[in-house]
Amino acid sequence: MQREWTYQDFVKDALTRVPEVSCEVLREKCRERCVVLDVREPDELQTGMIPGATVLPRGLVEKHAHEHIPAKDVPIYVYCSTGNRSALVADTLLKMGYRKVFNVAGGIERWQHLGLPLEGQSAVCRVPNARLNWEEVRREFAIVGRHVPVLGSGERALVYLDHAASTHAPKTVLDAYVHFVTQEYANVHRGASFLARKATERFDESYYIVADFIGAELRKGCIAFTSNTTQAIDLAAHVMAHRPGKVITTEMEHHSNELTHRRHGPVLRCRVTDDGELDLDHLEDLLRKHEVKLVAVTMGSNVTGIMPDLGRIARMAHENGALVLADAAQALARTPIDVKPFDDPEHIDFLAGAGHKAYAPFGAGFLYGPRALMDEAPPYIPGGGTAAQVSTHGAEYLRAPDRHHGGTPNIAGVVGMARALQFLQSIGMKEIRAHEVKLVDRMLRGLKRIGGITLYGPADPEKRLGVVSFNVNGVSDLLAAAVLSEEGAVAVRNGRFCSHIYVDRLLAAAAKRQGGETQGSAEAAPTGAVRASVGLYNDESDIDRLLEYVERIRDRKWMGRYRVKGESVSAEFAGRCADRWMESTQDADHPMSDPDASAYGYLFEVLQPDGGCRTYLVADPETGDAMLVDPLREKVDEYVDLLQAKRLRLRYTVETHTHADHLSGSARLKDLTGCQMLMHAQSPAPCVDRGLQDGDTIELGKLRIDVIATPGHTADSVCLSLPGRVLTGDTLLINACGRTDLPTGDSEALYHSLHRLMSLPDDAIVCPAHEYNGRRASTIGRERKSNPRLQLKSAPEFVKAMREMNLPPPARMREAIQNNLKCL
């Protein structure tokens, strides 16, 4: 019985008659006399149109084409979203007698990705040498605008470098997914209603989209949908289980391509070299010496990104009577894939992949395999949808793939996965590959420049997918990943990546290369690695952020305190740098001496943490009342945006003293928000709403903040004490103190103010107004022990030391003092 034609069959048939042109060629041709037809539906036009195009939806072509096309010999270029529907329209126009009809390959999506102009926009045309517009691709992903909290400095834009684990879906894919769920949701193959027919059409079309993406044909081959790559590999193992022989896996494999085979029979394992490459001579030896039915190998390692020579492996396997199963989980969205015809000696017999690593929602995967084998194998999970006829004593099962689709499949997930593969095709897999190679090259070169880093896998970015695993010598992978996340907002993966055999082999080889020594101290011997993996929407700035924080980790300049319990890590702001006690500890009951502000019922953020001038945000989360301490005038707009984003109401600004080195933002914040400005009562500034005295309390919702008058740096200097920390202005700095050679400065007064602060708890975090050496914070206890100014035993000795400092005046002293006193 002849199989009924599908939508994709009609598209392929049309393209045997309709010539295709690229978007670049179309842009050139449109400078000549031609007609461009947009055959999308009206609700698809939000993304814009090719300039000069005429909208003629598919259903109106036969009736209205003559109204828009002046002559039968005028060149006609037809496009839709992706280039499929337009092929059918172009074929129809040929049958109507139009002689020069062309299909636009990739459709409007390809046009957008190339950065070509759209109707109503002012994009600059890059033709004839059009280059892919990666900013356009980047805007497809909402995650690009995601901000996450980081220790000590509020929130930062997330840098997602964990694409080897899962990828985010772009708007194009999510729109198709949501449209199906909201407008076409129905079960497949089981109903005559409009929705049931529409859902079945979408589902069946997905077979051909997947097949086209991997270069497969579906007469001898077969696509079966699964929930993920693991299930796809297990289905392949199930299909091969009844055949005699052993399975060869490799030391490079993910557990999904190892453990699934073990439960079906004997498994042999091909070695890897010390460099992490497959030892293909060993594979050939295994094939010669054993009866092997299947070679299961990754197309690209999820640890090193290494891409084995699959063509050579396939030839070797077929010459020895074995089939090949390729795990394409990592390769699917990163590099062009071609399973090749069945009669090609390099043909890939089975290929497994999943949508969630190819920019689709979770829950859908696929297995490609030989139709004959998949037809003769028993149903993977017998049940609804797998049988043609069931009696009391037996069952007659359907052909593949239906015989392996027990129950209702994840129809929406399959539709989303198919749409994601079309999205990738519209960009171009060669372009995607080149993009990732460029980013990996930047990452590898940067990590080598930093030094103190152990890299795993080839140094040549052309030899790996967009995956880089490494260790910072002497720092555990868990701690490094935690610091990257908690302080740099960089999402990476750490551990052994469900590839324990391979990672253990790489770690042992690295130790061997270093003469048997572990990297760093004995307690820091690596048991895993850090993995950064790039994707479509990553750019060079993402790589630079990763490198910046890896260098901080290398230099032990993280600012948090990290505690490990099992395989999890907790972090809190500590403000101490380069101290061994800051590294993760296995003591789960170790007391935390640096309090977390949220534990005391208030919000606390350090603004401008990397600048010399610090501003602090304090807020009561229940009432939303907030105050800013020592705000900078040039940052006022950013403060207002931050407060709005966090839905906080600014009640107060507090100036810890009259500044001589920067302009206060308090006066402008008063104008913009209506807040009150608080400052010591001795301040002559006319815009102060409340003069503070020693012992006063500032009430911020339920939070009580104590005022400590600390004259010395200036006569109007104050410090603010709140649970767990003290804001010290320019009175107490990290390992130093404020100068006293400015107007109203008094060295003896500062001596007594400093020693008054030493009565605060040792674990109180010191948060100064200025820090020019990159140190984040300190504690009262640490300053008492290490601050050289606090080691001076008497006031006269302190006064003498301050007099001998002989510092140059601040660069903007006169301007700053005058403007701050006048509230300008």
Q: In a 3-state reduction of DSSP, which class is residue 118?
A: coil
Residue pair 414/364 in contact by the 8 Å Cβ criterion: yes
In the predicted structure, residue 591 carries a pLDDT above the cut 80: no
In the predicted structure, residue 580 carries a pLDDT above the cut 60: no
Half-sphere exposure of 205 (CA within 13 A, CB side): 20
155: its two tokens: 């929130």
**Choice among 345-349, 441-445, 513-517, 670-674 with the minimum mean pLDDT:** 513-517
Identify each DSSP E strand in 80-135 by its residue range: 101-104
DSSP state of 306: B
Give residue 149's pLDDT band: very low, low, confident or very high (50, 70, 90): confident
DSSP state of 440: H
Distance CA 345, CA 642 (A): 61
What integer pLDDT is reported at residue 387 of this predicted model?
85
What integer pLDDT is reported at residue 139 of this predicted model?
86
**Choice among 35-49, 582-596, 634-648, 672-686 with the minimum mean pLDDT:** 582-596
pLDDT tens string 201-210: 888 888 888 9
Of the residues 80, 125, 222, 498, only one is catalytic, namely 498
DSSP state of 278: B
Residue pair 307/339 in contact by the 8 Å Cβ criterion: no
Residue pair 655/615 in contact by the 8 Å Cβ criterion: no
Q: Which residues 6+ apart lie within 8 Å of 77 measured at CB? A: 21, 26, 29, 30, 34, 35, 36, 37, 102, 104
Give residue 503's pLDDT band: very low, low, confident or very high (50, 70, 90): very high
pLDDT tens string 151-198: 866 788 899 999 999 999 999 899 889 988 898 888 877 667 778 788
Residue with tokens 């199930």: 238
CA distances from 582 to 562, 572, 595, 606, 771 (A): 6, 10, 14, 20, 20
Does the global pTM surpass 0.85? no
**Choice among 19-33, 232-246, 316-330, 483-497 with the minimum mean pLDDT:** 19-33
Q: Is 498 a catalytic residue?
A: yes
- Cα dihedral sign for 515, 517, 519, 521? negative
Give residue 30's pLDDT band: very low, low, confident or very high (50, 70, 90): low
Rounded mean pLDDT of 725-738?
Answer: 94
What integer pLDDT is reported at residue 766 of this predicted model?
94
Of 510, 467, 496, 317, whose CA–CA distance to 309 is shortest? Answer: 317
Q: What is the largest CA-CA distance in the chain?
A: 106
Rounded mean pLDDT of 588-594?
Answer: 30
Distance CA 180, CA 307 (A): 36
pLDDT tens string 450-475: 999 999 999 999 999 999 999 999 99
